[in-house]
């Protein structure tokens, strides 16, 4: 082998004994020098010399060794080029290297060429912006090629997208620099506890029973001290021998060794008592949540399914988490209801109905089945059914039932026509629409119509205007909640209004309303995802407090209103009330009132004052009388007082203030992480004293055990 500037010998192994037993490693290139040496450069992507870490305008690059590396971000993402090594002889069983950047096979890649043919190729880890710029080990088994002449070629033929590649430390060795590691054990306990470190390299982990993969997901596996622990429920595998595998772990990693069984969720001593755990809003014990899914009432239980990443606090690995409540305020988290069928085929949003007449034939015992419709990202719109009160689901064997470009099926029963309706987010030529399909049996679906101008998570329901059963209207909205009022004949939605704003807050998204609510209750109850970051917590995001929706005639026309469900009163612990108060100008503490979990109702007189409202633990909720505008943080909403009185209702929790003005005509849910060291509640009055017709402050008890 020719030893030129780019080839040198190096001992990489720490243990002298191990080194003595096997041949020394050969570092093909470490890119520490000031030039590429004998490597051939074409194009501009690779510059003239190895990069020193991150290049201008690039997100921070990490995971390389030493100071230099190959980085094809010279001239940004659009530049192209190649970098080719001189010929060398393959003398060891493995070639290992660090690689990062774009996942575009054949376009951003490193190739091993023997006799001019590509015999091995690897690409970067990410195909979308915002993915990690972290380099990771990859290993090629070249044992069958020992003795052959070869070249290494690093390629960037990608323009646009995330089109660059990073490579460092190419080494020939008789050992792999990283390993796909695995551990085998007999399941005897309830959970597999998994350590997570935020920002660690995302690893692919799988659990196998025999040859079959039963769980597979991505996780930022901690290699040392974890930030927190997540868990995987092993109930279904009790007594079986399972193998846990992790791809591509560096040799030194302790990641897999930390993984262990337990009958308890690890580090759960402070579960539900964490600093930012909302006291009366649903949050998952661990992991991430987004949209509410499958909201259905059945046999005394309000089911809340939701978009869930059980293994990290960011969006990903989409499952359907599950919680139930008997009163819409106290929630009990149950095991995951929908698991992805395979890696990459995620369970996106959808809805649930009770198939009272067994139209689908899914019922097995004396009780109707709960049927869910959800988006399988690998297959299309799918149906699954439960005969155990929504705990576990079986897939309909004819899935998918609808294939199209879109997602988020919302299924309702259309009583007058005696058929089911599925509203779907549907893309046609990049246009965003809602499509309606119909079915008699939840299995065979027929396209009915389309309406433009709505994005993901459609919702469709009928409501009596002003409670008048003889005057009913339909409401159609998508994830942002902005809605049209109109007519629906079971196939076509005919708008009778333009779009109206629903939420004036900063965190509302992807809401749903309950199906299966008994006629004697008759409420239209909504739960939305509260997009709120939970700093430093082992869980992230929340659900907004359930609200009752009504349609009301206003001066502007028929509009939606949202009020917290009356069950909030079950949480009242201590209550205080005042009438006909006059509060002087300034910020005045309400005598004896402070706290973290509160329900406030107030009727404020707007005459003789410029601004009035509340200061909640330092955050103002203030009405500007002249501007007729309610403001909180960076959000405002137009509100007019009614006969000189502004009615405000506030739900205050550790990370949110939900504001309802004029009996819910204006709904303003706000995510706000309130400071621990300020529990004060004040009344604010500017331009005159505040006249308060009535005020109630209820301290709330936590919903958690």
- Residues annotated as catalytic (active site), given as ranges: 291
Choice between 205 and 510, CB closer to ligand FRU: 510
For residue 570, which phi and psi values (nearest 5 degrees)?
A: -65, -20
Q: Write the CB contacts of 70 (distance below 8 Å, at least 6 apart in sequence).
A: 31, 46, 50, 51, 83, 154, 165, 166, 167, 168
Choice between 228 and 346, CB closer to ligand FRU: 346
Shortest Cβ 155–ligand FRU spacing (Å): 34
Q: Does 318 bind ligand FRU (CB under 6 A)?
A: yes
Label the pairing between strands 108-114 and 431-439: unpaired
Q: Does 319 bind ligand FRU (CB under 6 A)?
A: no
- In the chain, what is the straight-line distance between the N-terminal and C-terminal CA atoms, in Å? 69
Applying CB under 6 A, which of residues 142, 171, 384, 479 lies at the interface with ligand FRU? 479
CA separation for the pair 548, 538 (Å, rounded): 30
User: By CB neighbour count within 10 A (0-12 exposed, 13-18 middle, 19+ buried), where does 239 fall?
Assistant: exposed
Choice between 450 and 581, CB closer to ligand FRU: 450
DSSP 705: -
Q: Does 381 bind ligand FRU (CB under 6 A)?
A: no
Write the interaction track for ligand FRU spanning residues 430-469; mark x where CB under 6 A is met and - where it is not.
--------------------------xx------------
Please give the size of the binding site for ligand FRU, defined by CB under 6 A.
13
Q: Does 311 bind ligand FRU (CB under 6 A)?
A: no
Q: Does 349 bind ligand FRU (CB under 6 A)?
A: yes
DSSP assignment of 279-336: SSS---SSEEEEEEEEEEEETTEEEEEEEEETT-SSS-S-EEEEEEESSSSS-EEEEE
Give the number of other CB atoms < 10 A from CB of residue 113: 18
DSSP assignment of 306-320: EEEETT-SSS-S-EE
Q: Does 348 bind ligand FRU (CB under 6 A)?
A: yes
Applying CB under 6 A, which of residues 136, 181, 283, 290 lies at the interface with ligand FRU? 290
Shortest Cβ 425–ligand FRU spacing (Å): 6
Choice between 316 and 688, CB closer to ligand FRU: 316
Choice between 77 and 459, CB closer to ligand FRU: 459
CA distances from 313 to 141, 197, 228, 260, 290 (A): 35, 10, 10, 20, 11
Shortest Cβ 267–ligand FRU spacing (Å): 27
Q: Does 407 bind ligand FRU (CB under 6 A)?
A: yes
Shortest Cβ 109–ligand FRU spacing (Å): 30
Choice between 375 and 506, CB closer to ligand FRU: 375
Choice between 173 and 376, CB closer to ligand FRU: 376
Cis peptide before 400 (omega within 30 of 0): yes
Site for ligand FRU in 502-561 (CB under 6 A): 510
Q: Does 408 bind ligand FRU (CB under 6 A)?
A: yes
Label the pairing between strands 493-495 and 419-428: unpaired
Shortest Cβ 318–ligand FRU spacing (Å): 5
Q: Is the dihedral angle over the CA atoms 559, 562, 563, 566 positive or is it negative?
A: positive
Q: Does 359 bind ligand FRU (CB under 6 A)?
A: no
Torsion of CA 675, 677, 680, 684, to 10 degrees: -60
Q: Does 375 bind ligand FRU (CB under 6 A)?
A: yes
Q: Give the DSSP H/E element, type plus range, for residue 16.
A: helix 16-21
Shortest Cβ 194–ligand FRU spacing (Å): 21
- Give the binding site for ligand FRU (CB under 6 A): 290-291, 307, 318, 348-349, 375, 407-408, 456-457, 479, 510
């Amino acid at each position: 082998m020719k030893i030129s500037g780019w080839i040198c010998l190096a001992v990489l192994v720490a243990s002298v004994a191990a080194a003595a037993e096997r041949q020394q490693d050969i570092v093909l290139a470490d890119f520490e020098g000031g030039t590429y040496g004998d490597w051939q450069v074409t194009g501009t992507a690779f510059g003239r010399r190895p990069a020193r870490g991150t290049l201008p305008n690039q997100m921070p690059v990490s995971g390389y060794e030493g100071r230099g590396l190959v980085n094809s971000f010279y001239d940004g993402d659009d530049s192209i080029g190649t970098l080719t090594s001189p010929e060398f002889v393959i003398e060891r069983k493995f070639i290992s290297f660090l690689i990062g950047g774009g996942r575009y096979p054949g376009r951003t890649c490193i190739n091993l060429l023997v006799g001019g043919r590509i015999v091995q190729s690897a690409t970067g880890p990410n195909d979308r912006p915002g993915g990690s710029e972290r380099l990771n080990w990859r290993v090629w088994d070249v044992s069958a090629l020992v003795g052959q002449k070869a070249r290494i070629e690093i390629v960037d033929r990608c323009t646009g997208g995330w089109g660059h590649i990073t490579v460092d430390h190419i080494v020939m060795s008789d050992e792999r620099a990283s390993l796909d590691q695995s551990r085998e054990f007999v399941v005897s306990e309830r959970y597999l506890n998994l350590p997570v470190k935020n920002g660690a390299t995302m690893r692919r982990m799988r659990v196998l029973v025999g040859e079959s993969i039963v769980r597979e997901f991505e996780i930022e596996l901690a290699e040392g001290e974890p930030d927190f622990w997540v868990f995987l429920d092993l109930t279904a595998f009790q007594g079986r021998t399972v193998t846990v595998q992790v791809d591509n772990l560096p040799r030194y990693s302790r990641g897999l060794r930390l993984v262990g069984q337990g009958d308890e969720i690890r580090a759960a001593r402070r579960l539900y008592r964490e600093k930012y755990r909302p006291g009366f809003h649903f949050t998952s014990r661990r992991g991430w949540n987004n949209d509410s899914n499958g909201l259905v009432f059945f046999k005394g239980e309000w089911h809340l399914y939701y978009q869930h990443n059980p293994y990290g606090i960011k969006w990903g690995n989409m499952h359907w988490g599950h919680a139930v409540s008997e009163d819409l305020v106290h929630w009990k988290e149950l095991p995951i209801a929908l698991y992805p069928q395979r890696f990459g085929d995620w369970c996106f949003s959808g809805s649930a109905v009770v198939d009272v007449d067994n139209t689908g034939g899914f019922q097995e015992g004396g009780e109707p089945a709960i049927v869910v419709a959800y988006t399988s990202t690998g297959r299309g719109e799918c149906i699954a059914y439960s005969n155990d009160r929504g705990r576990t689901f079986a897939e309909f064997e004819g899935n998918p039932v609808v294939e199209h470009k879109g997602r988020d099926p919302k299924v309702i029963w259309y009583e007058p026509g005696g058929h089911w309706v599925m509203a779907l987010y549907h893309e046609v030529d990049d246009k965003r629409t809602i499509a309606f399909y119909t079915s008699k049996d939840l299995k065979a679906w027929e396209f009915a119509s389309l309406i433009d101008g709505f994005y993901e998570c459609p919702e469709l329901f009928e409501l009596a205007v002003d409670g008048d059963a003889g005057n009913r209207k339909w409401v159609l909205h998508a994830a942002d909640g902005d809605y049209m009022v109109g007519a629906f004949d079971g196939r076509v939605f005919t708008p009778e209004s333009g779009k109206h704003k629903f939420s004036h807050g900063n965190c509302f998204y992807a809401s749903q309303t309950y199906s299966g609510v008994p006629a004697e209750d008759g409420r239209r109850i909504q739960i939305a995802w509260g997009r709120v970051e939970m700093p430093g917590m082992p869980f992230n995001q929340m659900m907004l407090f359930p609200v009752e929706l009504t349609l009301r005639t206003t001066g502007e026309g028929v509009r939606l209103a949202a009020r917290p469900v009356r069950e909030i009163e079950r949480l009242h612990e201590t209550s205080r009330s005042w009438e006909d108060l006059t509060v002087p100008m300034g910020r005045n503490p309400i005598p004896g009132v402070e706290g973290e979990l509160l329900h406030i109702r107030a009727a404020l007189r707007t005459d003789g004052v410029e601004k009035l409202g509340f200061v909640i633990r330092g955050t103002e909720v203030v009405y500007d009388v002249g501007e007729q505008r309610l403001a909180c943080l960076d959000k405002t909403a137009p509100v007019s007082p009614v006969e000189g009185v502004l009615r405000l209702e506030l739900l205050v929790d550790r990370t949110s203030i939900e504001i309802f003005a004029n009996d819910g005509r204006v709904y303003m849910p706000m995510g706000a992480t309130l400071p621990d060291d300020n529990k004060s509640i004040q009344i604010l009055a500017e331009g005159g004293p505040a006249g308060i017709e009535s005020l109630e402050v209820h301290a709330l008890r936590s919903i958690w055990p």
